[in-house]
A and B are shown apart, each in its own frame.
Chain A
Amino acid sequence: MLKVPYVTGYLSEHFGDDGFGTLSGYEARGGYRGLRQALDTSPEDLIELLKSSGLQGRGGAGFSAGMKWSFMPTDSDRPKYLVCNADESEPGSFKDRILLERAPHQIVEGILIAAWATGAEKTFIYIRGEYAFPADQVDRAVAEARERGYLGAKVMGKDFAHEIVVTRGAGAYICGEETGLLESLEGKKGLPRKKPPFPAQYGAFGMPTTVNNVETFSHVPHIVCKGADWFRGFGTEKSPGTTLFGVSGQVQRPGLFELPLGTPLDEIIFEHAAGLLEDRPVKGVIPGGMSMPILPANQLDVPMANEFLRERKTMLGTGGIMVMDDTTCMVRVACVISYFFRDESCGQCTQCREGTGWMNSIVERIERGAGEQSDLDILLDVAGKMEGQTICAFSDAAAWPIQGLLRHFREDFEAHIRGKKCPFPGSFEL
């Protein structure tokens, strides 16, 4: 049985059911009907279906999945590949892990439909190295699907060949960035590639490639079975469907909750996650994994969809919600976040390599009580220099949370500087 609390939707309906992870259990609950249906549909119509469903990528950037599929060249005789990005490493996110563990066939089915739609002959599932148990589940599901004839030279007896290769990461956050992933997949150091060329032209092993997140693939069979209108029945007009919100932090019932996009943040925290421990007040909430800017307590009414979150200068990211109560020192939060990004920067681009380290040094100095008022301007200035100027979005992801913390919790930083020490109780090891 799954131990974390969850709220069910179409993705997670059978999560509590141990048989769902096996091929027979998955099929008994309607699995692979979407693939059967897709193979009777033309690739063009499938891509149109995906576009009209409005499914946004669930890996963090929120780009239209149907558009992404349509970028794959149709006139190329080179082999085309798909990559399933299962390198879930964003602190605060654990949705893909549960999907991999509980519903691997849902992913495999989504991959096969995408493969048919894009003409891909092979898919690489790149799984975070630490995800040993999830990887075992995927290995097993792939073997079952192959044995059943859902993979191989004739998928479901049709004139369509597909193979899935499961590979494991080796422990770098940056390998979740799609081109860093491709480098790592090829056996090289995970350094994101400069663009152009984009993966759809020059991806894995130089071949046209589409990279989608685990959850993105998981939505696909449902959209094929039930249609775009059904899918648009969930969520908001601009952000249709459900998503898996992972709630952690000082809440009564941390867990994974499948809810329509646009569900208000306070509903997620106070209803689904049952409010804060000891009923303490909220101080701040990171809405979508650690790289997304924090929201203060007075903004919890925001509907959890990008069009609303952008107005609050943050984004949905991976839907990993981290709740912090009023005892939280936001400078310590800044220390943890900036250390993470300092440690995980690949080091290619100047701004990111040097900026992450500099920001981390400054916030740690402020926490130690040696900060100066001018440090806050420097932090914002450095974060500004790191934004939008680098090969990949990592540098932005490192800059945004610091900007968010200073936007909403500048007082915490100033209190450290004025008092020349951390005013919060407890010890914190730098």
Chain B
Amino acid sequence: MPRITVDGEIIEVPDGRTILQALDDVGLLMNGVDIPHYCWHPKLSIDGSCRLCQVEVEGIPKLQIACNTSVQEGMAIRTDTERVRKAREGVMELLLVNHPLDCPICDQAGECKLQDYAYEYGVEASRTREPRRALKKNVDLGSTIKFDQERCILCRRCVRFCSEIPGTGELRVFNRGDASVIDVHPDFPLENDYSMNVADICPVGALTTQDFRFKIRVWFLEDAPGICTGCSNGCNVHIGVANNKVYRYVPRRNDDVNDTWICDSGRMSYKQIGGGARLKEAGVRGEAGRLENTGYEAAVREAAKRLRSMIEEHGADSVVVLASAHATNEDLFTLRRLSDGLGAGADGVAVVQGKSDALLIKADKAANAAGARALGFGPAGPVLDRIRDGRAKAAIVLGHDLLDESHLGGTEALEGLDLLIVLDVQQSALHKVADVVIPVRHAAEKYGTLTNHAGRVQRVEPAVEPAWEAWSDGEVLTLMGQALGLEGFEDGYDPAKISEWMSERVSAFAGVHLRVVGDQGRPLPGERA
């Protein structure tokens, strides 16, 4: 570990890294040591072209770019001298020579590095009298991204992203000199599973997403840490919230999970949180065969009451339990205890499979498939068999993934059940045949943990509150357990306590629970993740 001196402070940094990389590794870059930069990005190759990150290195007459200068034992760097300040000012002035300065109508304003650095390191007024470059505006590069060529400062992060991360290479620099522009080739639009990341890494308002642009000014947004629930990779996200509404996901850096990226379908999955497909009303099927709104808690109690009479009539063996891989570890630990406490005939979890790739996208299309399995929920097959062959009379079902073609493919097989209790976030065809329907919370609305495909346990917390009554699955199941008089439900549902209890009771989770996983997650014992 070489020691370098930055502005007089001695810092120990990893070997074989450049100055920016090393400072980023130890968490000091722009967080104690300010070296502004545009073209450099921690997860892309070094470009060395914006020239903003120049610093003084003792013993070298010329200023050096911090992104491409390797650290060496005893190296002394200055980031705060007059020369460095003049160099930054020079770069900022030249970057602004052709920039349209249209911040008032630019959607990037507020999270624009050109704006930020111009305030911090720039000159006060423009000295140019020449007209600014007139280039393409409002260009659709593909179905996800809008491009404003005039705002582009040619840092080429987006070009390197497309070449290096998805490997699709749609974006290129065309022409040269001050005629250089970024564009796509004719008939080869920007279409890949990760295309929207270019908007995140674009330091200016040149690339914006069709989805988010002009929805809200970013300074009205508050960022809540969250986990994408689109698949079992568990990509870390910032959930952008205003007025209790989610406006977007942007990737939150986690070098062990998703670096600084997220796939497009995961990014768009925020729409499930507040979308029109949410299940909002608890219901109990009455004599007339219609679901009736009896109030939330009453529906939960009714579910428990009907379950008790089924068990009295047909025995606990006639009950089956199907977990949801969308629920948290704490929800599922509660379900595990309920299932065991009842002595249910079978339990399992239905996980929908989909496409996967070598980058982030995983085949399990649920955030907590690994958690469900670690809590002993096996394949859904044995549960579904009991439903099909009539051995099962009652079922407790979380979510509606069993309706997928790979499982039941519809509700027909469920019509033979005497009692179907459904806890779900979304509306589905299940509610046509369910006897009790209880809306529950999305992962972005509750405390808990999710276990990703590699066994990393990651925390979720409420970013928004549902505008209707909805509890977390664990809370509903706890009330049912109490109503059924089962042991271990007396203390109610406190996710942190339940989590800690789980880590004591379930060896797979030994020592790993909500209060200790932090904002970057923690691998289960024995997992490399």
Please report A residues at the B interface, Cβ cutoff 8 Å: 172, 174, 189, 194, 196, 342-351, 353-358, 361-362, 365, 374, 378, 382, 384-385, 388-391
Contact = CB atoms under 8 A, between A and B. Distances in A.
B214 to A, nearest CB: 29
A343 to B, nearest CB: 6
Contact of B178 (A356, A374, A378, A391): A356
Nearest to B90: A385
Given A194-B46, A194-B48, A389-B63, A342 B97 contact: no
Nearest to B133: A357
A354 B51 contact: no
Contact of B176 (A172, A194, A350): A172
B154 A361 contact: no
A350 B95 contact: yes
A190 to B, nearest CB: 8
A342 B178 contact: yes
Nearest to A375: B129
A353 B177 contact: yes
B97 A358 contact: yes
Contacts of A194: 46-49, 65, 68
B130 interface: yes
A385 B49 contact: no
B66 to A, nearest CB: 12
B37 to A, nearest CB: 12
A181 to B, nearest CB: 15
Contacts of A374: 127
A345 B68 contact: no
Contact of A350 (B52, B130, B175): B52
Interface string B510-529: 00000000000000000000
Interface in B50-80: 50-52, 54, 62-63, 65, 68, 70
Contacts of A389: 51, 54, 62-63, 87, 90
A356 B177 contact: yes
Given A172-B176, A358-B130, A362-B130, 6 more contacts: A194-B47, A346-B176, A346-B177, A349-B51, A378-B127, A385-B91
B428 interface: no
* Central interface residue in B68, B94, B177, B179, by most chain A CB within 10 Å: B177
A355 B129 contact: no
B376 to A, nearest CB: 53
Nearest to A358: B97
A347 B178 contact: yes
A71 to B, nearest CB: 18
B50 A350 contact: yes
B180 A353 contact: yes
B173 A357 contact: no
B371 to A, nearest CB: 45
A319 B49 CA distance: 30
B177 A391 contact: no
Interface in B29-50: 46-50
Contact of B48 (A353, A357, A391): A391
Contacts of B98: 354, 357
Contacts of A385: 87, 90-91, 93-94
Contact of A344 (B49, B129, B173, B177): B177
B275 to A, nearest CB: 43
A335 B119 CA distance: 33
A189 B176 CA distance: 10
Nearest to B99: A354
7 nearest CB pairs, A to B: A385-B90, A347-B180, A357-B178, A194-B48, A345-B177, A354-B94, A361-B130
Nearest to B62: A388
A275 to B, nearest CB: 38
B406 interface: no
A196 B68 contact: yes
A65 B439 CA distance: 79
Interface in B154-183: 154, 173, 175-180
Contacts of B62: 388-389
Contacts of A361: 130
A361 B63 CA distance: 28
A353 B154 contact: yes
A384 B52 CA distance: 16
Contacts of A349: 49-51
B128 to A, nearest CB: 7
A314 to B, nearest CB: 20
A345 B49 contact: no
A134 to B, nearest CB: 25
Contacts of A357: 97-98, 177-178
Contacts of A343: 177
12 contacts: A172-B176, A343-B177, A347-B178, A348-B47, A350-B51, A353-B180, A354-B94, A354-B178, A358-B128, A358-B130, A365-B129, A385-B91
A337 to B, nearest CB: 14
* Central interface residue in A358, A362, A378, by most chain B CB within 10 Å: A358
A346 to B, nearest CB: 5
